[in-house]
A and B are shown apart, each in its own frame.
Chain A
Amino acid sequence: MKIDFHCHTKSVKQGETEKRNIDSKRFVEKINDANVKIVAITNHNDFDKKQYEEFVEEANESFQIWPGIELDIKDDETEAHLIIISNPNCLNEFETSINNLIGDNDKSTFIANIEDVLNEFNNKDVIYIGHYIGKKKMLSPKMIELMEKTIEEKYRLFLEPSNYKTLSVMSDNGFRAIMGSDVQDWEKYSSINLPELKLEVDSFNKFLLLAKKDVTTINTLLQKKEKRDIDISIKLKNKKVINQTIPIYNDINVIFGLKGTGKSCIIDGLCDKYIKDGIDCSIYRAKDVDDTIKSMQTINDNEKFEVEFDLNILSKFIEKISKWKDNNPTSLSNYIEYIETKDNNKNKKRLGITKLKPIKNNSTEKYDEYLEKRKTIDNIINEYEDNNLYEFLDDNDKNILKEINNKIYIKYDSFTKEEYIKYKSIELSNNCITKIKEKADLLSSSKSVPNSTGFFEFAKNRLTLKNETNNILKLLRETKKIEEEKIGNLDEDKEVFLRKEYKTFFDNETGFKFGQTATTLKSVLKTLKNVNKKSLEDVNEYIKLFNQELKDNNIQATDFIGIKKYFINNKGEAYEPSDGERIMLILDRALFENKEVYILDEPERSLGNNFINDVVLPRINELAKLKKTIIIATHNANIAVRTLPFVSILKEYTKGEYKTYIGNPFVNKLINQDNEEDFKNWKDESIRVLEGGNEAFYDREDVYESR
Chain B
Amino acid sequence: MNQDNIINVELKKEEDVDILEFQFDNPVKINLNSSNNKDLKEMFEILLKELIKKKFALKLNVQNNYKTELYKDVCNEYINALNEEIKETIESDLWKEIFETEGEN
Contact = CB atoms under 8 A, between A and B. Distances in A.
Interface string B81-102: 1100110110010110110001
Interface residues of A, number: 37
A470 B105 contact: yes
B30 A332 contact: yes
A340 B89 contact: no
A331 B47 contact: no
Interface in A64-108: none
B40 A452 contact: no
A648 B41 CA distance: 89
A459 B49 CA distance: 10
A508 interface: no
B77 A335 contact: yes
B35 A333 contact: yes
Contacts of B89: 455-456, 459-460, 463
Given A329-B40, A329-B44, A470-B98, A455 B86 contact: yes
Contacts of B81: 450, 452-453
A536 B45 contact: yes
Contacts of A470: 98, 102, 105
B98 A466 contact: yes
Given A453-B78, A463-B94, A536 B37 contact: no
A331 B37 contact: yes
Given A332-B30, A332-B78, A455-B85, A462 B40 contact: no
23 contacts: A329-B37, A331-B35, A332-B32, A332-B74, A333-B35, A336-B71, A336-B74, A339-B73, A340-B70, A453-B81, A455-B44, A455-B47, A455-B86, A456-B89, A459-B44, A459-B85, A459-B89, A460-B92, A463-B89, A463-B92, A463-B98, A529-B105, A536-B49
* Most chain A Cβ neighbours within 10 Å, of B43, B77, B85, B95: B85
Q: Is the interface of A mostly helix, strand, loop or mixed?
A: helix
Contacts of B52: 536
B98 A336 contact: no
B70 A336 contact: yes
Given A454-B44, A459-B44, 16 more contacts: A329-B40, A333-B35, A336-B70, A336-B71, A339-B73, A340-B70, A449-B77, A453-B78, A455-B82, A458-B41, A460-B89, A463-B89, A464-B94, A467-B97, A470-B102, A537-B48
Nearest to B71: A336
A402 interface: no
A456 B47 CA distance: 11
B70 to A, nearest CB: 6
Given A331-B35, A332-B30, A458 B78 contact: no
Contacts of B44: 329, 454-455, 458-459
Contacts of A454: 40, 44
A328 B32 contact: no
Q: For the complex of A and B, list the 10 residue pairs with the smallest distance between their C-beta atoms, beginning with the closest.
A: A329-B40, A456-B85, A455-B85, A459-B89, A339-B73, A463-B94, A335-B74, A339-B74, A453-B82, A453-B81
Contacts of B98: 463, 466-467, 470
Interface string A495-532: 00000000000000000000000000000000001001
Given A532-B105, A536-B49, A456 B88 contact: yes
Nearest to B20: A332
B43 to A, nearest CB: 8
A326 interface: yes
A339 B97 contact: no
A277 B32 CA distance: 87
A340 B41 CA distance: 24
A211 interface: no
A453 B85 contact: yes
A494 interface: no
A578 B56 CA distance: 69
A338 interface: yes
A340 B98 CA distance: 40
B105 A473 contact: yes
B23 to A, nearest CB: 17
A391 interface: no
A333 B78 CA distance: 11
A474 interface: yes
A326 B41 contact: yes
A459 B105 contact: no
A538 interface: yes
Contacts of B41: 326, 328-329, 458
Which one of A328, A339, A470, A536 has the highest number of Cβ atoms from chain B below 10 Å of its Cβ?
A: A339
Contacts of A450: 81
A338 B73 CA distance: 10
Contacts of B45: 536-538
Nearest to B81: A453
A468 B18 CA distance: 40
B94 A460 contact: yes
A450 B82 CA distance: 12
Contacts of B37: 328-329, 331
Contacts of B86: 455
A149 interface: no
A449 B97 CA distance: 32
A294 interface: no
Nearest to B30: A332
Contacts of B95: 463
A548 to B, nearest CB: 22
